[in-house]
Amino acid sequence: MRGHHDKTPRQPMTITPKASPGVPNSTADPQRHIRTDHLLGGRTARGAAVTLVSQVVKFLISLSGTVVLARLLTPEDYGLVGMAAVFIGFIAVFKDFRLSAATVQRTEITHNQVTNLFWINLAIGGVITLVTAAAAPALAWFCGDPRLIAITWLASPSNTRRCFGDKCGSSAWQWLTSAPCSGL
């Protein structure tokens, strides 16, 4: 039996973190960026709050931009921008063919699937941009104002940019930029 006068050194206490059940080790798992099994509880609530706040901020920025545009442009020019915006917004409905919804519904997704969805989504955005630009003369003819051609051409790349803002595009971009060879 050891007494308090015994000079034998004691082993130091070490605290080793226990892995949470169902959550893979973040440094050893190559699929850690695209797993969804850890998204329960508090993280989901915080994510919902961040999404809500970001949507409110997005709405306020959009509203502010509309107010500034209304002050800078004449009513006739504002109407032309509005006609082009309605046309581009209608075409933007087809921007991802619901690929992001299919991605969110999966519990497991591989790097190859995310990469393929990213490039497919980007290609769809590019095609929709080209279709929008090609349809600009028809819109100008329908509305009776040739100035709509230039406005539509200038605004049509927004469809490609929107592809980066959806769930599939942004998560794929995040994954691609954090990959080991992303600095090449």
Contact call for residues 87 and 139 (beta carbons, < 8 A) = yes
Contact call for residues 122 and 163 (beta carbons, < 8 A) = yes
Enter the pTM of the model: 0.56
pLDDT band at 64 (very low <50, low <70, confident <90, very high): very high
Instruction: Specify the 3-state DSSP secondary structure of 41.
Output: coil
Distance, in Å, from the CA atom of 164 to the CA atom of 89, rounded to the nearest integer, reads 16
pLDDT band at 180 (very low <50, low <70, confident <90, very high): very low
The pLDDT score that the predictor gives to residue 147 is 93
pLDDT band at 11 (very low <50, low <70, confident <90, very high): low
Distance, in Å, from the CA atom of 89 to the CA atom of 83, rounded to the nearest integer, reads 10
Q: Residue range 8-16: average pLDDT?
A: 54
CA 113 → CA 7, 27, 116, 147, 164, distances in Å?
61, 21, 5, 42, 16
Structure tokens at 68: 């500034």
The pLDDT score that the predictor gives to residue 26 is 53
**Residues with Cβ within 8 Å of residue 36, at least 6 apart in sequence:** 107, 108
Residue given tokens 């940019």 in the structure block:
161
The pLDDT score that the predictor gives to residue 183 is 39
Structure tokens at 40: 């329960």
The pLDDT score that the predictor gives to residue 40 is 63
Average pLDDT in the chain: 75
Examine the pLDDT at 48 and tell me if it is beyond 70.
yes
Structure tokens at 113: 């699937």
